[in-house]
A = this chain, B = another copy of it.
């Protein structure tokens, strides 16, 4: 089994109350690949510039097949941002798309047999093109997006969503996408756009899985040392789809809820260090141990007498 991810590879400059770092290896495809690689084989499709050093290429190659990583003339995508003291808000200080501005993802032929595709947060027209280029096949298709595309490429996004099985989306963006302030109404309304499952990401408040007329709500793991929240959502998605890629039938509630648990746990490692440093350290033993801690904070019995 294998999963193909199409997304950004970037250099991030991040300021949080824990400190400041430049030149961090980041981007949605990077976080996704490292997280997913803990569960399955990953193929990466992305673009970097000539400033992307061999050590970074080697790093990505340790976690994924990088036949789909193009080195283009110019500089790598760069993003700079600053987080609020409570880490719940962030301000973008600079965005330099560089080679990412002309990104036209080409999926290598050998990736076509993959069982899962994840279209990370890029232009929905490109997401649609990737799906078209893959051709027919029984694949699990996941997609992530952001407010920018809901604002300026709504129709393209709606078209892409018709071909998607699982949408991962931030809570505010979910509300925006279906123009509905109540998330319990917004989730089911979003399912009508095409996806069989909507995963609503709520940051430090956890996530909601919407499937048919049901919802499953899981808190985030309570992390006392949040150093850098960048990449938490993509790490969640990486573990979520990485686990599902390995399941005989991803469409069961059990498989999806397990994936939600693993996404939650893996994302909690990401936020504990700058860049991918926390994520890289999380091996299966650490994931199992933290899963126990998550289970402990969620340990309620509901059928007591009163």
Contact = CB atoms under 8 A, between A and B. Distances in A.
Contacts of A206: 205, 219
A185 interface: yes
13 contacts: A17-B181, A86-B181, A87-B182, A214-B296, A214-B297, A216-B299, A216-B300, A218-B300, A257-B301, A262-B306, A294-B302, A295-B302, A298-B298
Contacts of A218: 219, 300
Interface stretch (A60-68, A121-129, A160-168, A220-228): A220-228
A215 B297 contact: yes
A246 B299 CA distance: 22
A304 B226 CA distance: 27
Given A206-B219, A258-B306, A302-B292, A87 B224 contact: no
Given A217-B298, A291-B302, 16 more contacts: A86-B175, A86-B181, A182-B223, A183-B222, A215-B222, A216-B298, A217-B219, A243-B306, A257-B299, A257-B300, A258-B301, A261-B302, A292-B302, A294-B302, A298-B298, A298-B300
Contacts of A219: 206, 217-219
Contacts of A183: 204, 222
Nearest to A246: B306
Interface size class on chain A is 35 or more
Contacts of A297: 214-217
A181 B85 contact: yes
B254 A301 contact: yes
Contacts of A222: 183-184, 208, 215, 217
When all copies of this chain in the complex are counted, the total is 2
Contacts of A204: 183
Contacts of A226: 182
A202 interface: yes
Nearest to A260: B300
A273 to B, nearest CB: 15
A223 B184 contact: yes
A65 B260 CA distance: 48
Interface string A233-270: 00000000001001000000010011011100000000
A17 B179 CA distance: 14
A284 interface: yes
Contacts of A111: none
A225 B182 CA distance: 8
Nearest to A243: B306
Contacts of A217: 219, 222, 297-298
A87 B181 contact: yes
Nearest to A204: B183
A32 interface: no
Interface in A189-229: 202, 204-206, 208, 214-219, 222-226
A11 interface: no
